[in-house]
């Protein structure tokens, strides 16, 4: 696509956005050009907070299914659009509801924390929701004598258990994008850039996290790099984050811990699909009311604590 048609496309998106009284939210793993047209970009927590408080009638969620579902749970009166309905999350798919129900029968007394990267129906069975930005905080509010089941990311469960000094029963799921990063990959890149600080997402493996100078959500990583005097960073999360990192810090250098850290689902959204969504008001995400009400409790608990 040359620049002119792309410019026209963007103009059309903005004009339809106004007509629809819509806002565009984009996760920082989205393609650069999608991040550039968004009203708000950020991590899962920040975007869910924006979805909850916006006055807009329509939310175009440039992210994946669980994010748009979360927006629908928090704001049922709004029209929630996910420009590509097939944009899912393999991590969320690792906790199918039947298996979760079976596990809960085996562990009837546990407190259940579901990572926001889970389906609405899994959230509806949970006591608390969390994101990578607040998992430790949420765990710290649960009485010490209570056992905790953490669904679905085993790496985030491990990080949270160590930080909060609590025993956590992990669900055996993982994010394929973060779990692909090995200790050997990191050691190789560290040798090339010995001065660089290593910043990683807690969905990375424990042995990778052990080498890090900072472990945090995508927003945490951006804030750390922006506020730290160091000039070089190795980044262990999805490559979309390089766009805001470079934009906010033109005088710093960022190196990927692995070029393989690309979330295919996040890259399914295009400018054409955003325009189509705004024109047709589809694909629309609606969480059935009985599931919505139950999952809202877990999400509200998270929002109150954070």
Residue 269: contacted member of ligand 13P, ligand SF4, none (CB under 5 to 8 Å, by partner type): none
Smallest gap from residue 218 Cβ to ligand 13P (A): 4
Cross-strand bridge partners of residue 153: 173
Nearest to ligand SF4 of 169, 180 (CB atom):
180
Measure CA 149 to chain center.
Answer: 20
Q: How many CB atoms lie within 10 A of CB 208?
A: 25
| DSSP classification of residue 239 | G
Residue 132: contacted member of ligand 13P, ligand SF4, none (CB under 5 to 8 Å, by partner type): ligand 13P
Alpha helices in the chain (DSSP H): 3-19, 32-37, 44-53, 65-74, 90-93, 97-106, 120-124, 135-140, 154-164, 176-179, 183-192, 206-209, 218-227, 242-248, 271-280, 289-305
Measure CA 146 to chain center.
Answer: 27
Smallest gap from residue 32 Cβ to ligand 13P (A): 17
Burial of residue 133 (CB within 10 Å: 0-12, 13-18, 19+) is buried
Residue 265: contacted member of ligand 13P, ligand SF4, none (CB under 5 to 8 Å, by partner type): ligand SF4
Note the residues at the interface with ligand 13P (CB under 6 A). 43-44, 117, 131-133, 175, 203, 217-218
Residue 296: contacted member of ligand 13P, ligand SF4, none (CB under 5 to 8 Å, by partner type): none
Smallest gap from residue 163 Cβ to ligand 13P (A): 15
- For residues 61 and 67, is the Cβ–Cβ distance under 8 A? yes
Smallest gap from residue 92 Cβ to ligand SF4 (A): 6
Residue 90: contacted member of ligand SF4, ligand 13P, none (CB under 5 to 8 Å, by partner type): ligand SF4
CA distance 69 to 270: 20
Residue 43: contacted member of ligand SF4, ligand 13P, none (CB under 5 to 8 Å, by partner type): ligand 13P
Which residue in this structure is represented by tokens 């798919």? 93
Smallest gap from residue 63 Cβ to ligand 13P (A): 7
Residue 73: contacted member of ligand 13P, ligand SF4, none (CB under 5 to 8 Å, by partner type): none
Q: Report the chain's terminal Cα–Cα distance, integer Å.
A: 42
CA distance 1 to 291: 42
Nearest to ligand SF4 of 263, 271 (CB atom):
263
Note the residues at the interface with ligand SF4 (CB under 6 A). 29, 64, 89-91, 117, 175-177, 238, 263, 265-266
Smallest gap from residue 26 Cβ to ligand SF4 (A): 13
CA dihedral 87, 89, 92, 93 (to 10 degrees): 80
Nearest to ligand SF4 of 103, 267 (CB atom):
267
Nearest to ligand 13P of 20, 244 (CB atom):
244
Nearest to ligand SF4 of 9, 152 (CB atom):
152
């Amino acid at each position: 696509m040359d620049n002119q048609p792309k410019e026209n496309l963007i103009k059309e998106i903005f004009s339809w956005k106004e007509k629809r009284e819509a806002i565009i939210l984009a996760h920082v793993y989205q393609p650069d050009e999608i991040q550039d047209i968004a009203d708000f970009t950020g991590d899962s927590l920040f975007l869910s907070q924006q979805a909850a408080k916006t006055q807009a009638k329509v939310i175009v969620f440039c992210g994946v299914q669980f994010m748009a579902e979360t927006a629908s749970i928090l704001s049922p009166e709004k029209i929630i659009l996910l420009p590509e309905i097939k944009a899912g999350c393999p991590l969320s798919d690792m906790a199918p509801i039947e298996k979760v129900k079976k596990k809960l029968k085996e562990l009837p007394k546990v407190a259940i924390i579901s990572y926001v990267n889970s389906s609405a129906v899994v959230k509806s069975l949970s006591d608390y929701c969390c994101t990578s930005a607040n998992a430790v905080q949420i765990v710290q509010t649960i009485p010490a004598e209570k056992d905790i089941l953490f669904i679905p990311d085993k790496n985030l469960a491990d990080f949270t258990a160590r930080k909060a000094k609590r025993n956590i029963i992990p669900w055996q799921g993982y994010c394929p994008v973060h779990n692909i990063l090995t200790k050997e990959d990191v050691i190789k890149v560290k040798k090339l850039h010995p001065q660089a600080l290593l910043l990683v997402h807690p969905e990375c493996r424990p042995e990778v996290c052990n080498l890090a100078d900072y472990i945090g959500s995508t927003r945490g990583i951006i804030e750390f790099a922006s506020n730290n005097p160091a000039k070089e960073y190795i980044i262990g999360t999805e490559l979309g984050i390089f766009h805001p990192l470079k934009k906010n810090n033109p005088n710093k250098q960022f190196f990927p811990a692995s070029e393989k850290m690309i979330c295919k689902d996040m890259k399914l959204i295009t400018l054409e699909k955003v325009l189509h969504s705004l024109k047709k008001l589809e694909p629309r995400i609606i969480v059935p009311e009985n599931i919505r009400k139950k999952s809202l409790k877990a999400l509200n608990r998270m929002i109150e604590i954070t």
